[in-house]
């Protein structure tokens, strides 16, 4: 069994190489998350085959990795939900983050208890064990690889001289004030504007919400003026109410602009979905993610996960991936058991 360790190491390294080349050319592709997940899976199998020659023990080791990943995600959500409930108003949806974290922790601890008592084992029911193991391992890898990709994607952005900078809006506080999240986006846009010799136009995009006295675009324009950006360089787009509308209506404000010379600015956790939707609309822009508070990031990132995989196309892809992974795990189990 040890001879397979090197093979898995090579496969893991190959997936990482594919990932780095792919994310530089196509950061909006979901295959980048898949490459990260496969790299992590092959690395886990490499470790497992290095320390054990028993196929049952190898599956147990991979299950242990999966449970650790699930617990890490769970505790980050618990911490995020708790911190947000203590620090911020409107606690309803933040309580859902806390509940989701507790639920994931419960699932992981329940699975660990079943493993410890031998209820969930090859001896009890091999079919249930293999299908359940595939579900836990695949689920953990799917969530982990997506969140990891959201975290590292902004690191691949490189400042340049752009013709236009598109800033995505978000909810205002007290109805007319720029929030910390929105201020970070605007500060990132200002940095890009000054890096490019102050030649770019800045499109601030966001309509007026039900609980807002002015549009997000108007609030952002005021913030930029206070920071010394000339009025003539600011283009407000105050009709949009979604990421897709932000992109479509902002492009209407930029006729004739080379779409490859546009910088898209949003929060780091939101960057992948923005680039994904921009690609679907035929906008080949470069994305920049503004940082958010550490306690807020897990809550926002898990909402991005839900937003992406609730779309029919990506839900089907993820389910097909699970069936393929289950087939491979079962096939490998019986192959190595021979």
Quote the distance between the C-alpha of residue 133 and its chain's center. 24
256-289 burial by CB neighbour count: b if 16+ within 10 A, else e? ebeeebbbbbbbbbbbbbbbbbbeeeebebbbbb
pLDDT at 87: 76
- Residue 39 pLDDT exceeds 80: yes
Element (DSSP H or E) covering residue 310: none
Is the Cβ–Cβ distance between 27 and 6 less than 8 Å? Answer: no
pLDDT at 93: 57
Q: What are the φ/ψ torsions at residue 219 (nearest 5 degrees)? A: -65, -40
Report, as an integer, the average pLDDT of 307-317. 93
Report, as an integer, the average pLDDT of 52-80. 91
Please give the full DSSP string across 130-157, using - where no structure is assigned. HHHHHHHHHHHHHHHHHHHHHHHGGGG-
Is the Cβ–Cβ distance between 42 and 15 less than 8 Å? Answer: yes
Contacts of 119 (CB under 8 A, 6+ apart): none
pLDDT at 89: 58
Is the Cβ–Cβ distance between 39 and 23 less than 8 Å? Answer: no
pLDDT at 103: 94
The pLDDT tens digits for 177-230 are: 999 999 999 999 999 999 887 788 999 999 998 888 999 999 999 999 999 999
Mean pLDDT rounded to a whole number for the chain: 90
The pLDDT tens digits for 264-289 are: 999 999 999 999 999 988 888 899 99
- Give the residue carrying structure tokens 């609730």: 310
**% pLDDT > 70, the chain:** 97
Give residue 53's pLDDT band: very low, low, confident or very high (50, 70, 90): confident
- Residue 91 pLDDT exceeds 60: no
Please give the full DSSP string across 191-259, using - where no structure is assigned. HHHHHTTT--EEEEE----TT-SS-HHHHHHHHHHHTT--GGGEEEE----SHHHHHHHHHHTSTT--G
- Long-range contact set of residues 322-329: C-beta below 8 Å, sequence gap at least 24: 322/134, 322/135, 322/138, 325/134, 325/137, 325/138, 326/130, 326/131, 326/134, 326/135, 326/138, 329/59, 329/130, 329/133, 329/134, 329/137
pLDDT at 332: 83
Report, as an integer, the average pLDDT of 221-249. 93
**% pLDDT > 90, the chain:** 64
- Residue 51 pLDDT exceeds 80: yes
Of 271, 260, 160, 266, the C-alpha closest to 203 is 266
- Kindly list the domain boundaries of the chain, sorted by start residue: 3-155+301-337, 159-295
The pLDDT tens digits for 130-188 are: 999 999 999 999 999 999 999 999 999 888 889 999 999 998 998 899 999 999 999 99
Task: Look at the alpha carbons of 213, 216, 217, 223 in this order and tell me if their dihedral is positive or negative.
Answer: positive
pLDDT at 94: 63
Q: What are the φ/ψ torsions at residue 268 (nearest 5 degrees)? A: -60, -40
CATH superfamily of 159-295: HUPs (3.40.50.620)
The pLDDT tens digits for 110-137 are: 998 988 888 888 888 888 999 999 999 9
H-only helix segments in the chain: 3-25, 31-51, 55-87, 92-117, 126-152, 180-195, 216-226, 243-252, 271-280, 297-309, 312-337
Strand 234-237 relative to strand 286-290: parallel, antiparallel, unpaired?
unpaired
């Amino acid at each position: 069994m040890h001879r397979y360790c090197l093979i898995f190491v090579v496969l893991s390294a190959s997936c990482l190489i594919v990932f780095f080349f792919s994310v530089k050319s196509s950061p909006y592709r979901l295959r980048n998350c898949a490459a990260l997940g496969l790299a992590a899976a092959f690395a886990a199998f490499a470790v497992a085959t290095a320390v054990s020659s028993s196929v049952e023990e190898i599956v147990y080791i991979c299950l242990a990795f999966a449970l650790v990943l699930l617990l890490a995600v769970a505790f980050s959500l618990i911490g995020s939900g708790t911190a947000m409930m203590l620090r911020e108003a409107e606690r309803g949806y933040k309580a859902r983050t806390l509940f989701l974290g507790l639920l994931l922790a419960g699932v992981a601890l329940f699975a660990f208890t079943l493993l410890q008592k031998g209820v969930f084992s090859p001896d009890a029911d091999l079919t249930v064990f293999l299908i359940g193991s595939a579900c836990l391992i695949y689920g953990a890898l799917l969530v982990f690889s997506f969140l990891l990709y959201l975290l590292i994607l902004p690191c691949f952005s490189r400042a340049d001289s752009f013709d236009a900078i598109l800033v995505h809006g978000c909810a205002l506080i007290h109805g007319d004030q720029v929030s910390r999240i929105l201020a970070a986006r605007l500060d990132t846009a200002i940095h890009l504007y000054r890096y490019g010799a102050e030649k770019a136009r800045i499109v601030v995009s966001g309509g007026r919400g039900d609980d807002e006295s002015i549009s997000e675009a108007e609030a952002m324009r005021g913030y930029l003026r206070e920071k010394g950006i000339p009025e003539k360089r600011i283009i407000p787009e105050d009709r949009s109410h979604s990421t897709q509308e932000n992109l479509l209506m902002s492009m209407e404000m930029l006729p004739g602009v080379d779409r490859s010379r546009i910088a898209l600015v949003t929060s780091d956790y939101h960057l992948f979905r923005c680039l994904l939707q921009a690609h679907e609309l035929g906008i080949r822009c470069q994305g920049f993610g503004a940082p958010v508070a550490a306690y807020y990031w897990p809550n926002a990132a898990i909402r991005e996960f839900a937003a992406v995989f609730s779309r029919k196309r990506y839900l089907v892809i993820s389910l097909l991936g699970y069936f393929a992974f289950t087939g491979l795990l079962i096939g490998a189990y019986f192959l190595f058991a021979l």
